[in-house]
Amino acid sequence: MRARDVELIVTGDEESAAKRVAEILAESARGGDEIALTGGSTPGRAYELAAELEPDWSAAGVWWGDERCVPPDDERSNFGLARDTLFAKLEAQPGRVHRIRGEDDPAAAAALYERELRGTTLDLVLLGLGPDGHVASLFPNAPELAETERLALPAEPKLEPFVERVTLTPPPLRSGRRIVFLVAGEQKAEAVAAALAGPPDPAVPGSVIRAESGETLAVLDQNAASRLRD
């Protein structure tokens, strides 16, 4: 299957995929971009390397594509992941940190985050991809995928960790100037093929997220890319 509206970068292993994404993050931070980070187990290494490449993030604004509804010091927190792997290693902290308040009521946290984001275009949207094809906390066939007005909504998890989420909806993700998927591992190969090469299908949320007027890039290790052609 050939990728649809996505530029692919396929690297030898997960470490080199993380390094490539770290370069993108570092350049973006240096340029003072509005950057949406992602959670999960894959991006931590890219965050560490990005801090080494660019230890001064004072020009950058940092956002999140989604958050687990837990306090910021909980080990499942996406903010906590960035704090420990990125912020803790910087010499100068990001000028603007727009945390989703996972410790609050999810509807209230989503409404507050939406108010903060409205009027801002994300320059860089980093996304992972779940084995079920989810991105941010937009899970297969979830009602949030059809949202056209709201920028952030509460969402029910369909995979571990089973805590409620707050997620960006498709409009702010699609209006990102640059969307970058970072995906590694053989267990993601089917999801990668469906999300990047299959037709747009709400059963595979990654397949409906492309930059409307910017560019969409996928940085994959060769295991994750193994079901793609070219």
Tell me: does residue 58 bind ligand 6PG (CB under 6 A). no
Total site size for ligand 6PG, rule CB under 6 A: 15
CA–CA distance, 100 with 155 (Å, rounded to integer): 13
Return the residue of 80, 130, 133, 172 that touches ligand 6PG, per CB under 6 A. 130
Among the candidate windows 17-25, 53-61, 89-97, 129-137, which touches ligand 6PG by CB under 6 A?
129-137
Q: Which of 50, 135, 152, 211 binds ligand 6PG (CB under 6 A)?
A: 135
Pick the stretch among 93-101, 103-111, 134-142, 213-221 that binds ligand 6PG (CB under 6 A).
134-142
Among 80, 102, 106, 128, binds ligand 6PG (CB under 6 A): 128
Q: Based on CB atoms, which residue is closest to ligand 6PG, 40 or 72?
A: 40
Give strand ranges (E) for the chain: 7-11, 34-37, 61-64, 66-68, 96-97, 124-127, 152-155, 165-168, 178-183, 215-221
- Residue 59 tokens read as 């020009």
CA distance 78 to 69: 10
37 binds ligand 6PG (CB under 6 A): no
Round to whole Å and give the CA distance between 216 and 177: 8
Question: Side chain identity at 188, as an amino acid letter?
Answer: K
Cα-Cα end-to-end distance for the chain: 8
Inter-residue contact 97 to 72 (CB < 8 Å): no
Q: Which of 20, 45, 101, 134 binds ligand 6PG (CB under 6 A)?
A: 134
Closest CA relative to residue 107, chosen from 44, 152, 63, 168: 152
Q: Annotate each residue in 136-155 with x if it binds ligand 6PG (CB under 6 A) or - if it does not, as one string.
A: x-------------------
Question: Residue 32 or residue 157: which is nearer to ligand 6PG going by CB?
Answer: 157
Binding site for ligand 6PG (CB under 6 A): 38-42, 65-66, 68, 78, 128-130, 134-136
